[in-house]
């Protein structure tokens, strides 16, 4: 539409991997105006429903990464329970680290 592009990723995790990208430049999600975020999310929702049906995916993962390309965008990645797609490595918090981290974040919540 006039505010948002959507296109297939040229290096897909799985067939149907789609990017949803605002036409206006914002580097990070938190730089993006709320009204535009709503439009991006609603567009992503509409597309992921279509992708899941068209590709017969078990579900569609929604990711906002933003490191490789300095422009806010959303990845819609069709997933299958059997695809062995590896998620990022998890780690355990050190003692009290979780509580300390939560407290630090709470100081910045507006």
Read off the pTM.
0.83
Question: If pLDDT is split at 50, 70 and 90, which confidence band does 24 have?
Answer: very high
Largest CA distance in the chain: 49
Domain 4-108 CATH superfamily: HIT-like (3.30.428.10)
**Using CA atoms, how far apart are residues 6 and 28, in angstroms rounded to an integer?**
18
Q: Report angle CA 17, 23, 27 to the nearest 5 degrees.
A: 85
Residue 71 a catalytic site member: no
Residue 41 is predicted with a pLDDT of 97
Instruction: Give the Cα separation of 7 and 55 in Å (integer).
Output: 15
Q: Answer for the pair 100, 73: CB distance below 8 angstroms, yes or no.
A: no
Q: Are 83 and 60 in contact (CB under 8 A)?
A: no
**Annotated active-site residue in 25, 71, 73, 75:** 73
Calculate mean pLDDT across residues 33-61: 95
């Amino acid at each position: 539409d006039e505010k948002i592009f959507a296109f297939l990723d040229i290096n897909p995790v799985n067939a149907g991997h789609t990017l949803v990208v605002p036409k206006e430049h914002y580097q990070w999600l938190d730089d993006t105006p709320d009204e535009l975020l709503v439009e991006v999310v609603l567009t992503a929702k509409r597309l992921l429903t279509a992708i899941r049906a068209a590709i017969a995916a078990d579900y569609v993962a929604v990711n906002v990464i933003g490191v490789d390309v300095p422009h806010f965008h959303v990845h819609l990645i069709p997933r299958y329970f059997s695809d062995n797609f590896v998620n990022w490595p998890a780690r355990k918090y050190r003692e009290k680290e979780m509580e300390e981290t939560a407290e630090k974040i709470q100081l910045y919540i507006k």
